[in-house]
Amino acid sequence: MEEISIGSYMAVISIVYAVIISLFFITILIRKIGLWGIFSKAGEKEWKVMVPFYNQITLLKICKLSPWFIILYIDFLIPIVGFLLGRDVTWALILVSIGFICYRFLISIKLGMSFKKGDAFAFFMALFPTIFYPIIGCSKDDAFTEVNIEKRSKKKSEDK
């Protein structure tokens, strides 16, 4: 029987890590291409896609949401800091995950409404943005329309 050296195990592990990291960067690139098209159709400057948190603020602006929703996007820092301080962060991770999921669904619903897509498309866009952002951004048929949600006041409803 031949002995397998530690070096060959390390080579296999290195190849697996290289493949995983490459797939990670490919999915980021595909998502950025989709966002590039979405920003272009919405009339925003395309370079904003490349700036990490500013692209999310611009996306919130396109969706007519408050820029303060970015807190739901960056609140993943709370458990990381807690973990580095040696705390139990299980409860924080659960709360942060709920906030991030709400953020993803808010963006997806508003983008779906802006591009006149159905509810099912918006649902799956929240789950798989790497697939559905390029569908919207690279499609020639989809056009951006601003969605204006009117708030009803009590005076207007009483007058009718």
At 118 the pLDDT is 85
- On whether the pTM is more than 0.85, the answer is no
pLDDT at 51: 92
pLDDT at 148: 67
Q: Are 79 and 96 in contact (CB under 8 A)?
A: yes
pLDDT of 152: 65
Among 141, 104, 139, 109, residue whose Cα is nearest residue 122? 109
What is the residue extent of each domain of the chain? 6-149
How much is the pLDDT for 15?
96
pLDDT at res. 5: 79
What is the per-residue pLDDT for 35?
Answer: 93
What is residue 83's predicted lDDT score, i.e. its pLDDT?
74
Question: Which residue do the tokens 């602006």 mark?
Answer: 61
Looking at residue 160, what is its pLDDT?
55
For residues 138 and 34, give the distance between their C-alpha atoms in angstroms, rounded to a whole number. Answer: 6
Q: How many angstroms separate the Cα of 85 from the Cα of each of 72, 77, 91, 97? A: 22, 12, 15, 20
Task: Provide the pLDDT for residue 26.
Answer: 96
Question: How far does Cα 26 stand from its chain's mean position?
Answer: 15
Distance CA 11, CA 4 (A): 12
Token digits of residue 115: 């591009």
DSSP string, 106-123: HHHHHHHHHTT--HHHHH
Structure tokens at 118: 């159905």
Query: What integer pLDDT is reported at residue 48 of this predicted model?
Result: 94
Q: What is d(CA 144, CA 137) in angstroms, rounded to the nearest whole number?
A: 10
Q: Please report the pLDDT score of residue 149 as a whole number.
A: 63
- Mean pLDDT for back-to-back runs of 10 residues, the chain (160 residues): 75 95 96 93 92 91 88 74 74 80 90 88 92 90 74 60
Residues in the chain: 160
Q: How high is the pLDDT of residue 2? A: 63
Q: How far apart are CA 59 and CA 23, in angstroms?
A: 24
